[in-house]
Amino acid sequence: MLTTPRPQASSIQRPGLLLSERATRFKRAGSLAGRGMLLIITSSSAIAVLFIFAFIIRDALPFFRLEGLRELFTSTRWYPSREPAEFGALAIFAGSGLVTLGAIVVAVPLGVAAAVCLSDLLPFAVRQWVKPIIEILAAIPSVAFGFFALVVFAPLLQAQGGPLLALACWIIGLPLALLGTTVVSDLAAGKLPERLRQPGQVVSFLLLAAASLATLHWTASWLGGLSISSGTNALNVSIILGIMALPTVVSVSEDALQAVGRELREGSYALGATRAETLVKVVIPAASSGILAAIILGVMRAVGETMVVWMASGNAAQIPDPWFNFLEPIRTLTATIAGDMGEADHVTGSSRYHVLFALALCLLTFSFTCNLVSEWASRRTRRKLA
């Protein structure tokens, strides 16, 4: 390995070790040392991650040794400062899960739709302007979002919550209803014989439109009648987290859609597909792994966010009454760690200090798993398209 007779152009594989026969042992050792140094430097980031894991595990294990696994994951009573202390974090896990779910519901449809628009629908000149604007959202500091959520959005939800939700229902529901009605009536009329197709389409469109508008109206008036007693709740945080995760989802989805390449799209058009058919049946399925990776990155962003949830989620360690009731305050893992860190001194309160590391370990494991899955997903895209 260290000696190669005469270097030929076709056989040069590792030029670093390709020293001629006349190279002294000193030179070879020097070359090896150089490569070793470079290896250490480039792997320093991986080593840092390992060290982070190691230190968090080291400080989390004492909690599990003192209190065991059962209470943390099954009890909902979180009273770390009482004597005797109770460390039931199930409500906190549920809170994190709830706001992440809400953030995904906000960010994914909006983000994937924006990515599809950016990559396939908008003219190039418009795209050059819109993409930087979406990426500005990622540059806004999270504490600014949290401040907005606490000082502006929460009182707004309390004062005008019902009407606001009704308005959102109309804004989101109307285009979706029109789109859905058109598509479904088109498909339904396609089954009719040739002569009846045109009037059949009109009739079914009108019927479906009437039905969907009636449903929207009923939903909106039900939402409008709701009164939100506390504006710092899961809904507030979900919306803000969704907006924060949006740039990530859009960027990565758009990269995945771009990576599909022109050949696939041109082939589809050449076979006579419409733009909608190309998008829905060819491009998006081809980019699906990349879009999955984008969603997972959005999840990681939402789970790890601290400032916004600490300021605007209410920090109540409870599971809301029906679990999907977004109008109740909840508490997340990140806010618990940030909020309780001050009092939990490793000298003055042992379990109370170590439980925070146990929660951090759960967060870290979850993020790590998400990262691995997203890596696997994007590797699948590359292999599929290559």
Residues that bind another protein (CB under 8 A): 76-82, 91, 150-151, 154-155, 158, 229-232, 310-311, 314-318, 328-329, 331, 339-343, 345, 347-349
Alpha-carbon gap, residue 143 to 311, rounded angstroms: 9
CB 44 within 8 A of CB 57: no
Q: Which is nearer to another protein, 123 or 141 (CB)?
A: 141
In whole angstroms, the minimum distance from the beta carbon of 213 to another protein comes to 34
In whole angstroms, the minimum distance from the beta carbon of 345 to another protein comes to 6
Q: Which is nearer to another protein, 254 or 305 (CB)?
A: 305
In angstroms, the Cα distances linking 379 to 49, 62, 365 are 22, 38, 21
In angstroms, the Cα distances linking 28 to 2, 15, 23 are 8, 13, 7
In whole angstroms, the minimum distance from the beta carbon of 154 to another protein comes to 7
- Helices 288-304 and 90-116 pack at an angle, to 10 degrees, of 140
AA identity, residue 155: P
Q: Which is nearer to another protein, 182 or 318 (CB)?
A: 318
In whole angstroms, the minimum distance from the beta carbon of 322 to another protein comes to 14
In whole angstroms, the minimum distance from the beta carbon of 92 to another protein comes to 11
In whole angstroms, the minimum distance from the beta carbon of 286 to another protein comes to 47
Q: Which is nearer to another protein, 119 or 315 (CB)?
A: 315
Alpha-carbon gap, residue 123 to 81, rounded angstroms: 58
In which residue are the tokens 């929660």 written?
359
Cβ count near 330 (within 10 Å): 29
The residue length of the chain stands at: 386
Q: Which is nearer to another protein, 302 or 344 (CB)?
A: 344
Q: Which is nearer to another protein, 142 or 253 (CB)?
A: 142
Q: Which is nearer to another protein, 219 or 230 (CB)?
A: 230
- Quote the longest CA-to-CA distance of the chain: 91
The CB-based long-range contact list for 62-70 (8 Å cut-off, 24+ gap) reads 62/350, 62/354, 63/87, 63/351, 63/354, 63/355, 63/357, 63/358, 64/358, 66/350, 66/351, 66/354, 67/351, 67/355
In whole angstroms, the minimum distance from the beta carbon of 343 to another protein comes to 4
In whole angstroms, the minimum distance from the beta carbon of 310 to another protein comes to 7
Q: Which is nearer to another protein, 336 or 381 (CB)?
A: 336
In whole angstroms, the minimum distance from the beta carbon of 155 to another protein comes to 4
Q: Which is nearer to another protein, 97 or 200 (CB)?
A: 97
**Angle, vertex CA 326, rays to CA 312 and CA 369, nearest 5:** 80
Q: Which two tokens stand for residue 109?
A: 């449809």
CB 228 within 8 A of CB 157: yes
